[in-house]
Chains A and B, each alone.
Chain A
Amino acid sequence: MKPKVAFFDFACCEGCQLQVANLEEDILGLVNLVDVVEFREVLTGSAPEYDVSFIEGSITRPEDEARLRDIRSRSKVLVSYGACAATGGVNKIKNLWGNIDKVKKEVYDKDAAMPHLETYPTKAVHEVVKVDYFVHGCPITRSEFLKVVKALVFGTTPDIPQYPVCVECKMLGNECMYDKGGVCLGPVTRAGCNAICPSNNVSCEGCRGAVPNPNNNAMHEVLAKYKLSVDDIKRQFTMYALDPEVGK
């Protein structure tokens, strides 16, 4: 019996679902391995229980939390996939503002008090329910998504990198973004994307979240060596709300 797999989304752009839908020829291999029972972007239908649920998006409203808990209670394995789900992603920028009313006013202005616009500080999926596995990235890396699915179906533990992007970047023979005048978060960001941004001459913005023990303090040495300002580094850390403490 093929495992029953479902895909759900919360606050996000649904771009990670599209990455799955865009697996091209691999989508055929994927549906041979698993039975997709819910996937709004791709098919209609639902099921009472799931072997594996893939959760995309952040939790930003009380009703999200209830829905997520319900999905968790009906799922044997739950995978948080994509930056919004795995770390809170760009949705966590609002948490940096400190005051949620200020955020609502900025975004919705005179409609800020409308009941359907109720929102609270963003939570990643694991901040609400137990998460078994993560697929990081904004968007996810398709090959890594497949790696996780294959491991779950085969019964092994997915091997998700616990080291920084620099490892993959150097293995590809890239020149360091800092030497090109960039501000790159590769040294503190979890690898697994095959350094796709620096390989295309764009500094890492940290979409995969931090490595388990990022040494953000070392950024001070970097500021000095490359003659950068605290603001340069802070701006880079803001996009995926990697560490609100940096620069303080």
Chain B
Amino acid sequence: MELLQISKKELLEFVGTLVSGPLDVFGVVAHDGRFAYDKLDSAANLRLDFDETLYSPKQYLFPPKDPVLSYTPGDAASCAPVYAEKDQAIIGVHPGDMAAIAMLDKAFTENKIDAHYCTRREKTTLVGIYPTKPGKYRFTSSMIKPEEPYLAADAFLIDMGDDSYTIEIVTDRGKEFFSASAAKPATADGKAKAEKMKTAVKDTVTLKIKREDLPPFLDGKERHPVWETRGAKCFSCGSCVTVCPTCYCFDMLDELDLSFDYGLRFRTWDACVLEPFAVCAGGHNFRTKAADRIRHRLYRKQKYLLEKLGLAGCVGCGRCKTACVPDIAFPPDIDDDLLRKEAHHV
């Protein structure tokens, strides 16, 4: 992997030129004492020293409400797909969120290629950053392997703790992206230090079970009392899902113009913890209880997707712990309950 170095000042200057160019540039900005992704209108607002953002960057690849088809009612030939048109870059994606994008890439290309996702994805340059501060509830290294973020990233930044970043160039797109910057090849010393700096900030939380042991650990725990206990406190509000960097379930929605001459079909975020999520034909709901829904969510996070895609459906960002108002959604807490109750049974 090619390694470059760039001063912080030079990087900001480079981002400044990007922001004034044709590209949509997204990055992390300060937001009411916390951090959030936003469209950058000035490089000066970019923060790369954030602990964790309110929401994940998945919104730029899989928008909450995304038009996918336009049509005239009654005229099948009028149906035309709607695709993203603008090139974009996301600067400042933590390794966990980057691994989450790698998982989305796999989910949206497995069996069938999702043209809407892939079109947007192909127009996107992803620049990661290794965290410079611990997240309040981060347990990323328990959930992802160090190489997984590189399945999605075009480049990664490493804060060297002085006034510079090392840039790992991962793809040709990443190389092209930084070619207009003042970045120079990294020195041998810089390379050795960069590798150390990548793991300088430790996770706050450690999962007691190894990732590869999670699927067998969850086997046979479908009727465990923890689901009822936590389900009794669940609002079924979807917050754990809407903030999750990996959740990709969606609903379809038609909107007609008042003239009835023109309609748009949208893809909108859905969430398996919402009560109407599993309603099917005839009004039957096969997960009517909150307990069933939160079990299903955790199994998706720690078992099903891992088995299906080889990548975890949870990347340990801890956002669900912050977002869940009654605080029942955090996977490490649920695993602890499962471990504790298991010990009780013995």
Q: How far is the CB of A77 from chain B (nearest CB, A)?
A: 18
Binds B, one of A2-10, A93-101, A209-217: A209-217
Q: How far is the CB of A133 from chain B (nearest CB, A)?
A: 16
Secondary structure type dominating chain A contacts:
helix
B327 lies within 8 A of A167 (CB) = no
A187 lies within 8 A of B242 (CB) = no
Complex CA distance for A222 and B232, rounded to whole angstroms = 13
A241 part of interface (Cβ distance < 8 Å): no
Determine which of B54, B64, B73, B275 lies in contact with A213 in the assembled complex, contact meaning CB atoms within 8 Å. B275
Give the residues in chain A near B235, CB-CB below 8 Å.
Answer: 164, 166, 187-188, 214-215, 218
A29 lies within 8 A of B242 (CB) = no
| B:227-244 near A, CB below 8 Å | 232-239, 242-243
Q: If A146-B258, A187-B325, A217-B232 touch, does A173 touch B36 (CB 8 Å cutoff)?
A: yes
Q: If A32-B259, A176-B325 touch, does A167 touch B271 (CB 8 Å cutoff)?
A: yes
A171 lies within 8 A of B326 (CB) = no
Total A-B contacts with CB atoms under 8 angstroms apart: 107
Closest partner residue, chain B, to A187 (CB atom): B235
Closest partner residue, chain B, to A162 (CB atom): B276
Q: If A29-B258, A218-B326 touch, does A170 touch B275 (CB 8 Å cutoff)?
A: no
Complex CA distance for A162 and B236, rounded to whole angstroms = 11
B32 part of interface (Cβ distance < 8 Å): yes
A248 part of interface (Cβ distance < 8 Å): no
Total number of A residues with any Cβ neighbor in B under 8 Å: 37
Q: How far is the CB of A153 from chain B (nearest CB, A)?
A: 8
Closest partner residue, chain A, to B268 (CB atom): A171
| A:212-229 near B, CB below 8 Å | 212-215, 217-218, 221-222, 225
Complex CA distance for A217 and B239, rounded to whole angstroms = 18
A159 part of interface (Cβ distance < 8 Å): yes
Give the residues in chain B near A166, CB-CB below 8 Å.
Answer: 235, 237-239, 242, 325
Give the residues in chain A near B290, CB-CB below 8 Å.
Answer: 215
B256 part of interface (Cβ distance < 8 Å): yes
Q: If A222-B326, A225-B327 touch, does A211 touch B54 (CB 8 Å cutoff)?
A: no
Complex CA distance for A82 and B235, rounded to whole angstroms = 24
B155 part of interface (Cβ distance < 8 Å): no
Determine which of A26, A162, A213, A214 lies in contact with B258 in the assembled complex, contact meaning CB atoms within 8 Å. A26
B55 part of interface (Cβ distance < 8 Å): yes
Closest partner residue, chain B, to A153 (CB atom): B260
Q: If A150-B258, A175-B34 touch, does A215 touch B233 (CB 8 Å cutoff)?
A: yes
Give the residues in chain A near B259, CB-CB below 8 Å.
Answer: 29, 32
Closest partner residue, chain A, to B328 (CB atom): A221
A178 part of interface (Cβ distance < 8 Å): yes
Q: If A173-B54, A211-B275 touch, does A187 touch B237 (CB 8 Å cutoff)?
A: yes
Complex CA distance for A171 and B59, rounded to whole angstroms = 9
Give the residues in chain B near A173, CB-CB below 8 Å.
Answer: 36, 54-55, 59
Determine which of A29, A147, A162, A167 lies in contact with B237 in the assembled complex, contact meaning CB atoms within 8 Å. A167
A89 part of interface (Cβ distance < 8 Å): no
Give the residues in chain B near A172, CB-CB below 8 Å.
Answer: 64
User: B-side interface residues toward A, CB under 8 Å?
Assistant: 31-32, 34, 36, 54-55, 59, 64-65, 73, 232-239, 242-243, 253, 255-260, 268-269, 271, 274-276, 290, 322-323, 325-328
Cross-chain pairs A/B with CB under 8 angstroms, 24 sampled = A29-B259, A30-B258, A147-B255, A150-B258, A159-B253, A163-B271, A163-B274, A164-B235, A164-B236, A166-B235, A167-B269, A170-B238, A175-B54, A178-B325, A187-B237, A188-B235, A212-B275, A215-B233, A215-B234, A215-B236, A218-B234, A218-B326, A221-B325, A225-B325
6 smallest CB-CB distances across A and B, nearest first, come from: A29-B258, A221-B326, A170-B242, A166-B237, A187-B235, A171-B64
